[in-house]
């Protein structure tokens, strides 16, 4: 068979001409006759699928449903690489690229997370939740009293007012026929006829209902009876003869209780039926009888309750609870008879014997009952305790306790009571016997230690040491926290030596050297101090110092304890031990010298400083402390000589500054200038020396040399803000506002973001009368430093009108989180508005935030001078002296003025308060 040529062969099945090059069938106007319709979309898909199956390729996906390449799985590739083979090289490449991606993701991860966290916090701060916005108001609800809460007006219903008005307008009224009104009238009427026997018949209503007047009357009588019984038992209504006095405070309560009785009648009847059923079904259950009796008491029927409980005792004679309930429901006379019956039925019930004893009135009868009880219950600890408590003679009580400990040797309380009543020698014997009977009791050992303390041998006999060994051998050693609690208990009862012995022997129990023992013991001491157990804390510190003899933190904590809660002798003793253990730590020497100078005099302080010099010959702190001691006590020449020696032995910048300041305080500006010139040759980079030089020239009224000193200083130390401020103020004082502005501009270039420099520049413009320029500068400053409380305070107080202060203050508090200057500003604004309580609260908040700012103390003191009590002012001054603040714009200016040299903290506080305005 001959092969046909290509053009003569039939077309393959589903062949579409031109489909491979994208051409399909179409019809044009130039065609002669109708053109063949092209394949449909389904035919094209079927053809492509068949061809793909023949070639072994992956089935093509619909373009509409094709996923974005970004989301495709690289391990399941399609398209060009669908038929590729995944080799080891590909796996290695994928691993390397994955490591690169991971490394790139880790770069700047911390910075990125910190930035995201800051952005999140900033967003939450600017867009707080509703509950955060009302958090302050919710906390303020704590101060609302019950009376203010009750006086709150009811909210008006404003939401539905428009709807109700619209409904009222749409209401329509129609005339009702007379037949409807007549039927409504007759429906509520009823008739009553009297039969021949005189009884009333039941009323039949128009609608067919029947009214039973007999049941209505019975219900009314029951309600009235309940009210009368409730009223007769009410304590708020007292009747005497024909007169009735009503307690006005309990009148409403009485009425409400009567309403409750009326409403609870049905419930009482229901409960009564339920309890009756329970009693009838199981009469041997005492709880049902007791519940039924208590129900009758609640219903106001004590007679029925007594009757029920008596029946219950007959059915349950062995239940002590039902007998106790019967005793409580009867008066004293009947209760004694019932108690006798109960004891006869239950001779071994301790509760019944104790209850019978309480029913007796005279002590002799009580003793008689208890002794009869002991005959039947010789091993009852409660009965022996009652018998001992009834004895008035100590010897009789001792005999009873001796007998009780023989019968009940495992009772710790009886052994301890017997030891307390015995003589010291016999008490030791008793405790030794008790330890043999109760080898696991640590309370007996503590009692023995307290006994030795009472005999004056608490420090001689190692009772607690033996106790620890014995209890450890018995595996009965309590935990360390339990020993501390026992030590605090001994301290509370006056046994301080025993308390110390307990801590000494048990504080380190169960702790290894690897444990953080020092921090743990310091935490224990702080906890005891918070519970006002100072002797226990003192013992803990003493033990910890023996373990860590060179620990500065332990000595500091012990010194603080003695300073705040101990005597002067204890404080001196603690400081002496501290300087012996840490001789090269100057702080302890200075503390000891200050305490000696305050209490024992200058000579004792000199001796302390002399000892300190031997241990620390080159310490500038000790040298300066000696100078201050001599200067404060009027020994000027000696102080000058000490400074001269200190400049030779410890030539530090602080010693030279103190020397210059000392000569300025004495008024010798020439000597001060000579010293500052020498100091600047040694320490040219110390800004304080340049400031002192300029201030000395200012005191001498030599503005030119002062200007030269400040100018040279800012060139030598351009980062010193106080030096720039002094330079600017000198120019402003000389009338050179332009020069002062120029100085501050140079300062802001040297220290770009300094609130102090910006504030000074704004003040210069304000004092010069350029208020608009000051506001413009303030806007720039706040744009650079939006969280500066100093800038906000200057703007609120001096640049804006009073009407805008509140809104600005709210904005400032929102932007500036914690700044004492801004809090003081808020307090001053509230003070000006006569909101004194709130102003005082803001002053106290500022003090809690930063106690080292002296201006805050001065403003608060000025406030208390006008609106506080003498006691409050004295308390504030005492706290200020204790804190001894060192910072603050006005505080430093007054405190470092040579004229105020030697003044104490309380005097400086009052001077600063006088200068504030």
- The SS3 assignment for 372 reads helix
The alpha carbons of the chain give a radius of gyration, in whole angstroms, of 49
Looking at residue 799, the DSSP 8-state letter turns out to be I
Band of pLDDT at residue 192, cut at 50, 70 and 90: very low
**pLDDT tens-digit map of 47-90:** 777 767 766 654 444 444 444 554 455 555 555 555 556 677 88
Q: To which residue do tokens 């005497």 refer?
A: 240
What is the model's pLDDT at position 743? 92
Tokens of 887: 């910072």
- Per mean pLDDT, which range of 137-146, 501-510, 871-880 is the poorest? 137-146
**Alpha-carbon 389 to chain mean position:** 45
The DSSP line for 209-261 is -EE-HHHHHHHHHHHHHHHHHHHHH-TTEEEETTEEEE-TTTHHHHHHHHHHH
Q: Do the bridges between strand 237-240 and strand 243-246 make them parallel or antiparallel, or are there none, so unpaired?
A: antiparallel
pLDDT band at residue 650, thresholds of 50, 70 and 90? confident
Confidence of residue 240 (pLDDT cuts 50, 70, 90): very low
- Return the C-alpha torsion angle 632, 635, 639, 642, nearest 10: -130
Q: What is the pLDDT of residue 215?
A: 63
Average pLDDT for residues 425-450, to the nearest whole number?
80
Res 330: pLDDT: 87
Question: Comparing 674 with 633, which gets the higher pLDDT?
Answer: 674
238 forms beta bridges with 245
Cβ neighbours around 118 below 10 Å, total = 10
* Residue 495 backbone phi and psi in degrees, to 5: -95, 75
pLDDT digits 0-9 by tens, 363-389: 888 888 888 888 787 778 787 878 778
Q: How far apart are CA 741 and CA 732, in angstroms?
A: 9
Q: How many angstroms separate the CA atoms of 666 and 680, rounded?
A: 21
* Angstrom distance (rounded) from CA 706 to CA 698: 6
How far is residue 260's CA from residue 344's CA, in Å, rounded to a whole number?
42
Among 197-201, 343-347, 569-573, 713-717, where is mean pLDDT lowest?
A: 197-201
Whether 355 shows a pLDDT value over 90: the answer reads no
DSSP letter string over 260-272? HHHHTHHHHHHHH
Distant-in-sequence, close-in-space partners of 914: CB < 8 Å, separation ≥ 6:
none
Report, as an integer, the average pLDDT of 301-316: 88
Cβ neighbourhood burial of 859 (10 Å; 0-12, 13-18, 19+): buried
Nearest to 538 by CA among 576, 566, 579, 506: 566
pLDDT at position 153 over 80: no
- Structure confidence at residue 193 (pLDDT): 43
What stretch of H or E contains 413?
helix 412-421
Which of these, 339, 337, 334, lies nearest to 357 by C-alpha position? 339
The chain-wide mean pLDDT, for the chain, equals: 80
Predicted pLDDT at 237: 36
Residue 270 CA to chain centroid, in angstroms? 50
Place of tokens 């008006």: 156
Higher pLDDT, 28 or 46: 46
pLDDT over 70 percentage in the chain:
80
């Amino acid at each position: 068979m001959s092969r046909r040529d290509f053009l003569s062969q039939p077309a393959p099945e589903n062949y579409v001409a031109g489909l491979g090059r994208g051409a399909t069938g179409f019809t044009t106007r130039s065609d002669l006759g109708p053109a063949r319709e092209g394949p449909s979309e389904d035919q094209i898909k079927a053809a492509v699928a068949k061809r793909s199956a023949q070639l072994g390729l992956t089935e093509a996906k619909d373009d509409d449903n094709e996923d974005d390449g970004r989301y495709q799985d690289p391990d399941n590739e399609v398209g060009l690489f669908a038929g590729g083979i995944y080799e080891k090289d590909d796996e290695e490449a994928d691993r390397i690229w994955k490591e690169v991606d991971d490394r790139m993701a880790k770069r700047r991860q911390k910075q990125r997370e910190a930035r995201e966290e800051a952005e999140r916090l900033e967003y939450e701060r600017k867009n707080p939740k509703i509950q955060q916005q009302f958090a302050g108001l919710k906390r303020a609800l704590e101060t609302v009293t019950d009376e203010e809460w009750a006086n709150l007006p009811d909210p008006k219903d404003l939401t539905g007012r428009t709807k109700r008005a619209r409904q009222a307008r749409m209401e329509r009224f129609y005339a009702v026929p007379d037949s409807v009104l007549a039927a409504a009238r007759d429906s509520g009427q009823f008739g009553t006829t009297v039969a021949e026997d005189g009884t009333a018949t039941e009323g039949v209503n128009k609608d067919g209902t029947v009214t039973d007047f007999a049941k209505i009357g019975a219900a009314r009588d029951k309600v009235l009876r309940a009210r009368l019984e409730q009223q007769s038992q009410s304590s708020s209504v007292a009747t005497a003869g024909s007169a009735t006095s009503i307690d006005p405070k309990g009148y409403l309560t009485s009425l409400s209780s009567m309403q409750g009785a009326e409403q609870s009648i049905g419930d009482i009847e229901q409960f009564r039926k339920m309890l009756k059923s329970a009693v009838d079904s199981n009469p041997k259950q005492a709880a049902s009888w007791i519940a039924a009796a208590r129900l009758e008491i609640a219903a106001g029927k004590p007679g029925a309750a007594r009757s029920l409980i008596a029946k219950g005792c007959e059915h349950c004679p062995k239940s002590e609870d039902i007998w106790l309930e019967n005793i409580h429901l009867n008066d004293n006379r009947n209760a004694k008879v019932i108690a006798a019956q109960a004891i006869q039925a239950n001779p071994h019930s301790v509760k019944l014997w104790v209850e019978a004893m309480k029913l007796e009135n005279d002590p002799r009868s009580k003793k008689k009952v208890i002794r009869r009880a002991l005959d039947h219950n010789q091993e009852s600890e409660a009965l022996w305790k009652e018998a001992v408590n009834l004895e008035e003679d100590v010897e009789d009580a001792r005999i009873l306790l001796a007998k009780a400990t023989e019968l009940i040797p495992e009772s710790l309380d009886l052994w301890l009571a017997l030891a307390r009543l015995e003589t010291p020698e016999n008490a030791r014997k008793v405790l030794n016997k008790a330890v043999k009977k109760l080898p696991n009791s640590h309370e007996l050992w503590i009692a023995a230690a307290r006994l030795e303390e009472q005999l004056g041998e608490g420090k001689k006999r190692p009772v607690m040491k033996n106790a620890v060994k014995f209890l450890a051998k018995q595996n009965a050693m309590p935990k360390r926290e339990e020993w501390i609690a026992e030590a605090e208990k001994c301290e509370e009862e006056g046994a301080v030596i025993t308390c110390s012995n307990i801590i000494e022997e048990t504080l380190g129990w169960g702790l290894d050297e690897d444990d953080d023992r020092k921090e743990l013991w310091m935490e224990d001491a702080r906890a005891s101090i918070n519970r006002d157990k100072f002797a226990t804390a003192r013992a803990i510190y003493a033990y910890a110092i023996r373990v860590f003899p060179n620990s500065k933190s332990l000595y500091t904590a012990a010194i603080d304890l003695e300073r705040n809660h101990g005597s002067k002798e204890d404080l001196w003793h603690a400081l002496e031990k501290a300087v012996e253990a840490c001789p090269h730590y100057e702080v302890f020497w200075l503390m000891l010298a200050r305490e000696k100078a305050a209490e024992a005099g200058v000579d004792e302080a000199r001796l302390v400083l002399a000892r300190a010099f031997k241990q620390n010959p080159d310490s500038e702190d000790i040298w300066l402390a000696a100078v201050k001691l001599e200067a404060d006590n009027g020994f000027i020449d000696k102080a000058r000589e000490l400074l001269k020696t200190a400049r030779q032995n410890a030539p530090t910048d602080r010693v030279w500054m103190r020397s210059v300041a000392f000569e300025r305080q004495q008024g010798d500006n020439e000597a001060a200038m000579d010293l500052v010139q020498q100091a600047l040759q040694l320490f040219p980079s110390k800004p304080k020396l340049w400031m002192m030089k300029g201030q000395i020239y200012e005191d001498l009224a030599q503005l030119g040399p002062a200007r030269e000193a400040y100018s040279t200083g800012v060139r030598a130390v351009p980062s010193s803000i106080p030096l720039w401020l002094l330079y600017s103020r000198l120019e402003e004082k000389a009338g050179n506002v332009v020069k002062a502005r120029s100085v501050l501009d140079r300062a802001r270039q040297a220290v770009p973001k300094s609130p102090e420099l910006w504030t000074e520049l704004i003040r210069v413009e304000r004092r010069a009368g350029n208020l608009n320029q000051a506001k413009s500068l303030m806007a720039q400053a706040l744009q650079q430093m939006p969280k500066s409380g100093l800038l906000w305070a200057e703007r609120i107080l001096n640049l804006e009108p009073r009407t805008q202060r509140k809104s600005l203050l709210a904005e400032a508090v929102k932007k500036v989180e914690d700044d004492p200057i801004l809090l003081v500003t808020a307090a001053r604004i509230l003070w000006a508005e006569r909101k004194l309580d709130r102003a005082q609260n803001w002053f106290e908040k500022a003090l809690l935030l930063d106690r080292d700012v002296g201006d805050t103390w001065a403003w608060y003191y000025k406030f208390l001078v006008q609106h506080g009590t003498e006691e409050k002012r004295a308390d504030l001054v005492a706290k200020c002296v204790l804190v001894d603040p060192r910072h603050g714009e006005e505080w430093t200016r007054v405190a470092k003025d040579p004229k105020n040299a030697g003044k104490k903290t309380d005097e400086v506080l009052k001077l600063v308060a006088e200068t504030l305005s």
